[in-house]
Amino acid sequence: MHSGLILVFSFHFLFFFHFTFPSLSHPFLPLSNVTLYGDAYSLNNSVSLTQELNCLTSSSSTPPPPSFSSSIGIGRTFYVYPIRFLNSRTNTTASFSCHFSFSIVSSPLCPFGDGITFLITSDANSFSISNGYMGLPDSASDTQDSFIAVEFDTSFNPSFGDINDHHIGIDVNSIISFASVDAASRGVDLKSGREVMAWIEYRDAVKLVRVWVSHSLVRPPSPVLVAEIDISKQFKEYMHVGFSASNGQGSANHIVNRWRFKTFVSHPPETPMDIGVVEEGDCFMCSPEDLSSTIGPHERKIKIGDMAFVWGGLSAIVASIVIILGMISFFMIRKKRLISRSKQGQACRVNREPERFSLSVVKSATMGFHKNQIVGEGASATVYKGSLPSVGAVAIKRFDKTKRIDCAHSPFTTEFAMMVGCIRHKNLVQLQGWCCEGTELVLVYEYLPNGSLDKILHKYSSSSIFLSWKHRLKILLGVASALSYLHEGCEGQIIHRDVKTCNIMLDAELNAKLGDFGLAEVYERNSITREATIPAGTMGYLAPEYVYSGIPTEKTDVYSFGVVVLEVATGRRPVDEYGTVLVDLVWSLWERGKLVEAVDSRLNGKVNGAEVERMLMVGLCCVHPDSEKRPTIKEAARILRGEAPLPVLPVRKPVVRIRSVLPKESEEVMNFRGDGSPSVSDAPWMTPRTHFS
């Protein structure tokens, strides 16, 4: 009930109401709710945007309407009424959420067509007859018109910037995509003929477009495409919303099966609990079961004439009631969510909401990004210390403009999307705000006065803070708590992929806070299949199976955590300046029964031998070459606290066994000895020797 009230509340402020199907004799026929153009036609409660063509003649079996006489092979369908996206009186811009399913079925012995797009356009009659355009407006058309499209492209044209013949892209007033991604690499086959589920969302408050796709009915936790772009500049007051497709030199049926759409108002700052939970909206194209789930048994379908009458006579009363109930519902839901989150345990807390800052404010806070304000530098960003009136001391992460490959997959976008999501934990660095202005991309974090664990641990001087054994244990337990939350406490499982002492920050009380989510990935919990990627992270911290297969799991984070445990206990780097590998060193001391000799000599013996042994054994257990033998982060933390027995370790460092990612019939197992040398019958090294530690 509450969500329904918010739905109407949002629509009221946009002055847009959705009308349900007016035809009672055919309540489930898509033609009741959409208008068809060109080759589009109704097909079993769905809409096929294109018709099967004869590849030799490239002619349609049915001549199109006169207005589309030159667009054979092109079809469109739009919601029957234009939708309001701008309110000039209140200076309000609509955000939108869309969920639909489609399939592309190729014709026998013919190449695939151009593909299908979800389209928002100011002119429903503007289109291009060019091959590869998917019926999108020609870039050279009237500049007064504008469009935004999410394309599912099945043709390859390098002149249009296509990455391949199987990709998803975001187009703004041009068929050259602003951002794109290979669909197959994200587990979706556009050419299989299977139904593809797609979710598209634009949040105007954060200027962010996100696209999810799946062959499953359940939306994946992680979007396949994220692009930071202000598409509100392309909105006219009223826009047409629908789909477009074309066949070009090929032939395929581009079929839209069902479609839900919603506009709403998003106000900055976006709260973490709100982003990604927008209702799917009203059903523009429904099957009987879709509509039955949308309209209750006692609800009445309102005809267009009825709605006009009701709005004309009761607008003032309805508006007042809706506003009051909407506000009550909003605050009730918000309070309920806050209470629910507070019960997730002491590890989870709700902090201040991220704020959008202007570039002038950020520059002022950093003295114009002055070099004297720099407190850290990374591969893709520089961190400055600053002070903001509304926040106080902050760490301002400025992303390097010269190292951006594309906006959709930049470290900024990945980290921003992750931090504005559901991440809220006392041992994670908290995002305070952001700035996206001109060419500048900036994230604003809480300032942690003691800097990174790496700096304190390895750059010790007489003026530095010395970490006692008690401090070191406290830091490791804090990191373990953060990782346990990422692995088990979020809606989707988050793999950090870059756990290292440089990314562990310390506050004034030496509490650990894990940061830098530029490489993090979100996966469906207990997902069996995961994408293989180029291994990302830092040499010395990466698990051997991850280096070989490129598939991150929670156990690869456990391995990195194990290296951090050994690093904290010994005060040594993962690989020192002489090439000595820390993991190998500690294993060798274990094999000789001299494990406690690995402890940091700067502690001057002011430690308990049993506690030293426990910490080092936890580290070795976490870096076990066999990922199946590693504990979970939660189990490792229990051992560190002395709440669980010591792990059982082999007498010698086990052989590294890495199962091949080749098909089963070609499956091989690679074996490497504990001393880093391959066995006689083993295959050649697939990665650097020092990297297997």
- 501 residue type, one letter: T
Examine the residue annotation and report whether 498 is marked as an active-site residue of this protein: yes
Indicate which residue of 204, 498, 516, 600 is catalytic: 498
3-state helix, strand, coil in the chain (%, to 5): 30, 25, 45
- 304 residue type, one letter: I
Cα separation, 116 vs 68, in Å, equals: 18
Q: Which DSSP symbol is given to 399?
A: E
Asked whether the beta carbons of 3 and 279 are under 8 A apart, the reply is yes
Contacts of 651 by beta carbon, 8 Å cutoff, 6+ apart: 591
Cα separation, 453 vs 550, in Å, equals: 27
Going from the C-alpha of 200 to that of each of 69, 278, 280, the distances in angstroms are: 32, 11, 10
> What is the distance of C-alpha 586 from the center of its chain?
38
Give the residues across from 78 on adjacent strands: 35, 242
Does 269 sit behind a cis peptide bond, omega within 30 degrees of 0 on the bond before it? yes
Instruction: For residue 267, count other CB atoms closer than 10 A to its CB.
Output: 11
Residue 202 dihedral angles phi and psi, to the nearest 5°: -120, 125
Label each residue of 620-642 as H, E or C. Answer: HHHCCCCHHHCCCHHHHHHHHCC
- 661 residue type, one letter: V
**Tokens in use for 450?**
């003691």
Instruction: For residue 416, count other CB atoms closer than 10 A to its CB.
Output: 24
**Tokens in use for 248?**
């070009």
Q: Any idea which residues carry the catalytic annotation?
A: 498
